[in-house]
Structures are given as structure tokens and as C-alpha cells.
Amino acid sequence: MFRISDLRKRLMTESLKAKLQRVRLVILDVDGVLTDGRIIMDEEGRELRSFDVKDGFGVRALIEMGVLVGAISGRAAPCVEQRLRQLGVKEIFQGIRRKREPFRQLLKKYGLRREETLFVADDVYDMPLLEEVGVKVAVADAVEEVRRMADWVTKANGGRGAVREVAEAVLKAKGLWEKVLAKLYSWERDDNL
């Protein structure tokens, strides 16, 4: 039986796919997106984070296929910089509460239009930047306000494969996923994933 809700869902999926095909820059929040949002402090007061290797694979796959990846975080921690550099991310902004300014710098630097950008978010600090990007993505455990703004809410929680899910969707929309799978063997000895 045909239902209007099925048609709406199909049209939304097709619309999202068209948006994902245009993406040339993926911007990630860090705490709550690349991590589960928890901050671990060692006895000397250093902050530590836990990263999911599935998300690392997603970041590497995007970069390998020519999609720019950047991170804009409200907090700053050396372990975040280290992990992102390990994955090949070159555009890292930490300790930034007002995330629109680095976003605009990236648009100018790479000659991008807003519709060619995607931002993965989880909390209210991310909302001003969500208003400016082409594709708005919320992780499954994002706050309600962010989920309401999103074009798409991932099935996975932040720090638990949400970035991998986004990467796969972008690369499939662009027709590059099979190329990623074909390159897996060349990544076989890479310990940075």
C-alpha cells in the first residue's frame, strides 16, 4: 500500500543524496562527535579523549578520496591535535567557541561555497555554524535543538561510529565508496587507523 510518509521519506533521501554529492569539505566538532564527550583527566591535569577507530577510518577515507576534512572544537587538548594529525587532518581549530569565523576562513582559503560543506554537530555551541553550512548533520545523541536543525541524524552516537557513517554516506553519494573498498589492501599496513 502506498503511503504519503513513504513518499516524503524517499524525497528526503533523494534530496539529502543530492546535497551529499556536492560536499567538498566535512567539518567535525570534536567532543561529542569524534569522541563520546567524556573528558578523562590524569593525575597531572592533562585531558585525555577516547577515539573510535571506525571514525578514524571514515576520516582517512574522506581524505584519501579528495574530500577536505577539518575540525573545529570549543576545547583544546594536545591529544586531539595528535589524533587528528595522525589521521591526516590539516585544518584543526581548537579552543574556538565562535565556530563561524574559522569556517569562513576555510571557505575563502579553498574557494568553496556553503552548499559544498557539511558539519557534524552535537550541542548548542554548534548551532550558529549549523545555520551556515550546506548539510547539517547531528549525531544520534545530540541535544534536541541540534537534532531539530539537522538535515540528517546519524544512527550512531558521537564517538561511536557517527563520523564513519557520515563518511560512508558522502562517499557513496559521490560514487567513490567502491574505490575506497578497492584501496583497502593498500592501507593494510597502516597503523594510524
Give per-residue pLDDT as tens, 67-91: 999 999 999 999 999 999 999 999 9
Q: How far apart are CA 80 and CA 92, in angstroms?
A: 9
Q: Answer yes or no: is pLDDT of 11 > 70.
A: no
pLDDT of residue 15: 87
Give the whole-number percent of the chain exceeding pLDDT 90: 80
Q: Looking at residues 163-186, what average pLDDT do you find? A: 91
Q: State the chain's mean pLDDT as an integer.
A: 91
Kindly list the domain boundaries of the chain, sorted by start residue.
15-187
Q: Answer yes or no: is pLDDT of 13 > 90.
A: no
Q: Looking at residues 175-192, what average pLDDT do you find? A: 75
In Å, what is the CA distance from 113 to each residue of 25, 57, 116, 123, 180? 10, 26, 5, 24, 26
pLDDT band at 184 (very low <50, low <70, confident <90, very high): confident
Q: Looking at residues 10-30, what average pLDDT do you find? A: 88
Closest CA to 151 of 5, 23, 15: 15
Q: Answer yes or no: is pLDDT of 163 > 60.
A: yes
The top-level CATH class assigned to 15-187 is alpha beta
pLDDT of residue 170: 97
- For the entire predicted model, the pTM comes to 0.88
Q: How far apart are CA 52 and CA 134, in angstroms?
A: 26
Q: How many CA atoms lie within 13 A of 193 on its CB side?
A: 15
pLDDT of residue 190: 57
Give per-residue pLDDT as tens, 126-149: 999 999 999 999 999 999 999 999
pLDDT of residue 4: 47
